[in-house]
Amino acid sequence: MERQPPLEGPYPFLYLDPMSLITTSRELAEVCRRVAQHPFITVDTEFLRETTFWPKLCVVQMASPEEAVAVDALAEGLDLAPFFDLMADPKLVKVFHAARQDIEIVWNLARLVPAPLFDTQVAAMVCGFGEQISYGELAQAIAKVSLDKSSRFTDWSRRPLSEAQVEYAIADVTHLRDIYLYLHGKLEATGRLSWLDDEMALLTSSATYEQNPENAWERFRNRVRKPRDLAVLMEVAAWRDTEAQSRDIPRGRVLKDDVVMEIALAAPRTTEELGNMRAFPRGMERSRAGVEILAAVHRGLARDPKSLPKITRERRSSGGATVELLKVLLRQVGEAHGVAPKMIATVEDLEAIAASDRANVAALKGWRREIFGEKAIELKHGRLALSVENGKVVALEWREAAAEEA
């Protein structure tokens, strides 16, 4: 992660207008010009996607150290270009909480990923706040405020926006400033800013947000066991995503997940076979969609099995005991360093380490290897022992453990 200059705080957070609602291109350009003068900006969005494939942006919230605004993204004639320029500004840190969905919206609309980026949910995991902590919980813990969530589930596409909605939206970025300054300061003081690098690299990669129908089958990755089933699944899932994207409707409105899997396993070859499937929508077999689904099935059956991705099978038994010990060690290391275990290693990482000391996993690289990976290998080979002291698990080097037994 690009290191930013030290932040002095607390900032004298002021509002030019605590109820600022931007509805014109001129107002947006002016506010973007002002906030670009600061070292960071906090950002959030309100959107809908219940009836669409692509999220529908309704409101954008921004706060600099001096002001906070809500932007009516549905205002007639509003040009969001100044906002997108702001998101691309390499001098301005963009602060989000749980950034992935917000960034997906920017990517879909402008084909750019905001950078440099700071995700407070990820940073909180490194600072000992646990896994996937909510914005409200962080606001309570750091800013000492309780958020009003009464407008959380309102319809953000309806106009006009109410005063309560605007207040709610702006609150989602105002307290985020205090959270950012606190977490940034703690990470800098402990030398852990670089620990965010892998996560920020993933969040700022355009590949994270690309919706390629050819990869749609990966949603069902662990639900097929035979090459033929996988081949049909790949074609049918790709057809469904293409159809959903072109019509801008949710995947489930094209075909539900269980129907996609049923087709993959049954591989119907005729209209009658397709129509006789239990979960398949009645009458759909005689429509254009039915014809295209059958064509997808035939393409899948014609695939060369050698060209298919390797089917991942569930790991069992051999490394089970080792993995369980590694899980205990992971929890101990997480507690000792004040870092959420999920940030250090995944279950897949532990399984890979159990199988090989040279596994190509994040837990055996960089700071993760330093605080956990080396110990994991030592534990695996009996050169590290786990013990319980005062109700807590502690890790002991082999010599220490042997001395205690003596």
Q: Are 47 and 87 part of one and the same domain?
A: yes
Q: Are 62 and 145 part of one and the same domain?
A: yes
In a domain, 2, yes or no: no
pTM flag (> 0.75): yes
pLDDT at 14: 44
Rg (CA), the chain: 25
pLDDT digits (tens, 9 = 90+) for 318-340: 568 899 999 999 999 999 999 99
pLDDT at 312: 66
CATH number of the domain that residue 52 is part of = 3.30.420.10
pLDDT at 396: 65
Strands 68-72, 21-22: parallel, antiparallel or unpaired by DSSP? parallel
Q: Are 345 and 334 in contact (CB under 8 A)?
A: no
**Residues in CB range of 27: below 8 A, 6 or more apart:** none
pLDDT at 363: 95
Stretches in the chain below the pLDDT threshold 70? 1-19, 312-319, 390-406
Picking from 176, 208, 240, the residue at the C-terminal end of a domain is 208
Picking from 262, 277, 307, the residue at the C-terminal end of a domain is 307
**Backbone torsions φ then ψ of 184, nearest 5 degrees:** -60, -45
pLDDT at 310: 85
pLDDT at 150: 77
pLDDT digits (tens, 9 = 90+) for 103-162: 999 999 999 999 999 999 999 999 999 888 999 999 999 999 998 877 778 899 999 999
Picking from 146, 179, 208, the residue at the C-terminal end of a domain is 208
The CA distance from 94 to 73, in Å, is: 19
Q: Are 194 and 219 part of one and the same domain?
A: no
Host domain of residue 366: 317-405
CATH number of the domain that residue 253 is part of = 1.10.150.80
Q: Are 223 and 357 part of one and the same domain?
A: no
What CA–CA distances, in Å, run from 41 to 33, 38, 119, 167, 181?
12, 7, 12, 18, 11
**Residues in CB range of 86: below 8 A, 6 or more apart:** 32, 35, 36, 41, 62, 92
Number of domain units in the chain: 3
pLDDT at 391: 64
In a domain, 5, yes or no: no
pLDDT at 20: 85
Closest CA to 344 of 317, 365, 323: 365
What is residue 97's DSSP assignment? S
Q: Are 48 and 55 in contact (CB under 8 A)?
A: yes
